[in-house]
């Protein structure tokens, strides 16, 4: 789940936290769990919490995570 959320953060770019959590909810991840995981990722320094957005810290790791969720995100975005 950590990799999935990091992948969403990196793939979607600087979109609002709400947009990320909404898309994650559509993928089957509860918003509460997604928020908890994102907060842990921020505490450990894997992502940066700007208040309204999450930003990836390590480009290589974030790119790998994005690759693992790319098909899923494309499908969700195409569904509207």
Per residue in 15-38, pLDDT tens? 999 999 999 999 999 999 999 999
Q: Give the model confidence (pLDDT) of 36-50 as tens digits.
A: 999 999 999 999 999
Q: What angle do CA 72, 11, 24 make, to 5 degrees?
A: 50
**What are the φ/ψ torsions at residue 53 (nearest 5 degrees)?**
-140, 160
Residue closest to 34 by CA, chosen among 63, 4, 56: 4
User: Quick count: other Cβ atoms within 10 Å of Cβ 76?
Assistant: 16
SS3 73: helix
Dig out the tokens for 22 from the structure: 């909404």
């Amino acid at each position: 789940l950590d990799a999935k959320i990091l992948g969403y953060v990196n793939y979607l770019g600087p979109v609002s936290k709400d947009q990320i959590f909404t898309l994650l909810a559509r993928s089957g991840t509860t918003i509460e769990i997604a928020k908890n995981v994102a907060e842990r990722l921020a505490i450990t320094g894997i992502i940066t919490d700007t208040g309204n957005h999450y930003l990836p810290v390590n480009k290589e790791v974030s790119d790998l995570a994005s690759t693992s969720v790319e098909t899923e995100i494309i499908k969700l975005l195409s569904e509207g």
